[in-house]
Amino acid sequence: MIVLVDYGMGNLRSVEKALQKMGGNVKLSQDPDDVRRAAKLVLPGVGAFGDAMKNLKKRGLDGAIKEEVAAGKPFLGICLGLDLLFEESVEHGLHQGLGLLPGRVELLPTRLKIPHIGWNRITIQKQSRLLQGVPNGSYFYFVHSYVVVPQEDSDILCTTEYGCEFVSAVERDNITAFQFHPEKSSTLGLTILQNYVS
């Protein structure tokens, strides 16, 4: 069972439908016990970092996610779900994240319009099972104003250009997370979700 973590932020239905379309047995849940019982975890989300962490803590989901990821459970983060993996964010003040990866979240350092909305290309920096069948330079759909700045270069999976180069995906061991929205990115986005499901 794939548990889609519901902490009251973002459009979870589109992620749920896309995972189901790819054959995933998906449960949308706010229950930390479901997180512990899951075979895989997906943390999606849109919105403010501080609010998201508050909601995760209020429901006891933060501890459950950290335990299960530390135990090696496959984890997929999408958009805000990527940002939350890191130690801290400067979005509307300084907020502590889940701290599963070293680094922080900062405002996208570009002179171009923020938020960055629309289709943009990824440059793949290392191999990943989740990117099987995804050509380098493929386009994906982005909606964000903040970016992750990993401490370890080895965690960087993809980068993207938007008036500057930023990290658009990370991967370490059982953790993979994308700044873009696979569920809104047509065939190649579904390819990523199919790879995760299988």
Q: List, for residues 133-170, the tens digit of each pLDDT value.
A: 999 999 999 999 999 999 999 999 999 999 999 999 99
Q: Are 13 and 169 in contact (CB under 8 A)?
A: no
Residue 95 annotated in active site: no
Q: Looking at residue 166, what is its pLDDT? A: 98
Residue 183 annotated to the active site: yes
Phi, psi of 29, deg, nearest 5: -150, 150
Number of domains in the chain: 1
* Longest distance between any two alpha carbons in the chain, whole Å: 45
What's the domain range around 190?
2-197
pLDDT over 90 percentage in the chain: 96
DSSP state letter for 131: G
CATH number, position 113: 3.40.50.880
**Is 158 annotated in the active site?**
no
Q: Which is catalytic among the residues 79, 116, 158, 171? A: 79
Q: Is a pLDDT exceeding 80 seen at residue 10?
A: no
Q: Is the peptide bond before 115 cis (omega within 30 degrees of 0)?
A: yes
Q: Which of 95, 116, 144, 181 is catalytic?
A: 181
pLDDT of residue 11 exceeding 80: no
